[in-house]
Chain A
């Protein structure tokens, strides 16, 4: 098997993505998703009964948890959790199920770089496969500026050690609107713009991946899938 590591992939390409739908039996939808060697598992449950303190009459309550592989969730994990929740708040059609709860759990299995993007993408796939209502699907892309000032898209664990700046962008699938920006480090505004363009084009690749995987899951044949792609405008 050729190893899905970044070393083998060009700097402006995403690492190989894999996913498996419904590996878990207790939830409404779950997905095991990997980007390169980073692996996460996400599960959704909902709409279900909600505790009265969280009850809302004009929309469903969204619960989002991110769990690290070892130890209790720390600040880093909480931030990641908040990022996922922010995106979901924007995209979930919560008005469809008032007085209920939608719960999404993300479990880290292996962190080999771009974990933020991985977690967001797996959350989206889990929502899609769990049949929870979304206004649009979403995809996140991680990118860094390395020591030499080059842009590295979807970096591996080993490449992030000496970075000047790191960016995570999330886009929606309908109009390509920005849903999330996370930046760290020092950079020029031109670099920011460049990387946004780079990530935007890479997000299309992720949406394509979503579409092909879900088509495969539902047993659609190749020509139907191709048809869908041509019909939809992104």
Chain B
């Protein structure tokens, strides 16, 4: 009667999986988005420092930063601590089915740990008050309120925004006495960052070579593999999480990475803009801020990505209209290639000019080896060939070369 442990998981049944696979094959998504289109992101800052609610489509995450004075570890005596706490039970009811709960919790937790702790995004040394005695322990509580796919991005955005929003009290340590000042005595201080990482999630299906970004829960559950890439605002890769059973082309991952880097940069810019707006509101409102009540009332306290980044989006759309066609949409590209097969040679010079620029923008270290220019020129050619070959699943002579070249790339 009440066997509803599967009720909470759309996309787990065979029929739904088939449906999604078919839809992706035809380049359609249930919510009408294009494969490279993300849902809107909304930020709401709370009245306290370090409280942020993020809404990504229907996915809702609340992050809260708190800090206290603690003792450092002996290995890193002059560094503060950053602790990330994920809570996916509660109102999201994700703990009803225990097996998926554990898996979900572990992946989300490890992603956040790697994105924020292992990448050392906070300047932990600035959190040290007295070496080996007193350091700040910063704690982030991530409460998942609702899960409608892409918990990863929502959580990383929430964590980053909360950390950037947070102000810690000032503190002095003199004559073995620790003094923490209240907000009235001394102004609170923001945390210091080394870089700003945000993740972008892609889903890959066996039926299609086209990855889809920002999956909904249905798409995420039906996906053959999920790739999560964390990039910082300097477009440096912080975390790559690729799993699942779909055989994935290196080129696909590279394409995801390049798009993810741009998206991450836009997201960080968006968070910065939202923070500036919030700051304005605080200084204007004489200490009284609406806080999370903004989630309920229809007033425009929500800061949405589409709204704040409108100019950038328009600009980007205008400039990258052509290149996006080439990068993201496979079928038109293939059509162009097969029709213009004879013209490929003529096109090559243009391509060669274009790609090195592209590469340097998403992988700055690329330029270190001296051999790079030559393989790059080769690579673009191979890629074109390979794309053609992909469809027929024939491996041709040049493809072998390209494989070996491309395999060296991720290593760098």
* A binding-site residues for B, Cβ under 8 Å: 1, 3-5, 18-20, 23-27, 30, 32-34, 37, 39, 41-43, 45, 47-50, 65, 67, 69-71, 100, 103, 105-107, 109-110, 112
Contact = CB atoms under 8 A, between A and B. Distances in A.
A110 B291 contact: yes
A69 B51 contact: yes
Contacts of B143: 67, 69, 107
Interface string B49-70: 0010100001010101010000
A72 to B, nearest CB: 8
Residue among A39, A43, A105 with the most chain B CB within 10 A? A39
A41 B44 CA distance: 15
B295 A109 contact: yes
Nearest to B288: A3
A4 B87 contact: no
A103 B48 CA distance: 30
A3 B92 contact: no
A48 B145 contact: no
Given A37-B291, A109-B46, 16 more contacts: A1-B297, A1-B299, A3-B285, A26-B148, A33-B296, A37-B290, A37-B293, A39-B293, A39-B296, A45-B93, A47-B2, A49-B3, A67-B90, A67-B143, A110-B291, A110-B292
Contacts of A69: 51, 62, 64, 141, 143
A71 B66 CA distance: 9
Contacts of B58: 25
Interface in B1-27: 1-5, 8
Interface in B285-343: 285, 288, 290-293, 295-297, 299
Contacts of A112: 47, 291
8 contacts: A19-B296, A20-B295, A26-B92, A34-B292, A37-B291, A37-B293, A69-B141, A105-B91
Given A37-B47, A110-B46, A110-B292, A24 B299 contact: no
A70 B47 contact: no
Given A41-B91, A110-B46, A49 B296 contact: no
B296 A18 contact: yes
A98 B383 CA distance: 64
Nearest to A103: B93
A24 B55 CA distance: 11
A196 to B, nearest CB: 29
B93 A43 contact: yes
A26 B59 CA distance: 10
Contact of B288 (A5, A24, A48): A5
B114 interface: no
B167 interface: no
B147 interface: yes
Nearest to A20: B296
A70 B92 contact: no
Most buried by B among A25, A30, A105: A25
A1 B290 contact: yes
B146 interface: yes
Contacts of B39: none
A107 to B, nearest CB: 5
Contacts of A30: 91
B9 to A, nearest CB: 10
Given A3-B288, A26-B8, A26-B146, A67 B296 contact: no
B206 interface: no
A69 B61 CA distance: 12
Contacts of A105: 89-91, 93
Contact of B2 (A23, A26, A49): A49
B22 to A, nearest CB: 24
A33 B299 CA distance: 16
Interface string B197-225: 00000000000000000000000000000
Interface string B126-155: 000000000000010101011110000000
A101 B78 CA distance: 50
A23 B57 CA distance: 11
A32 B295 contact: yes
Interface in B90-128: 90-94, 96
A18 B301 CA distance: 15
A30 B146 CA distance: 11
A101 B8 CA distance: 16
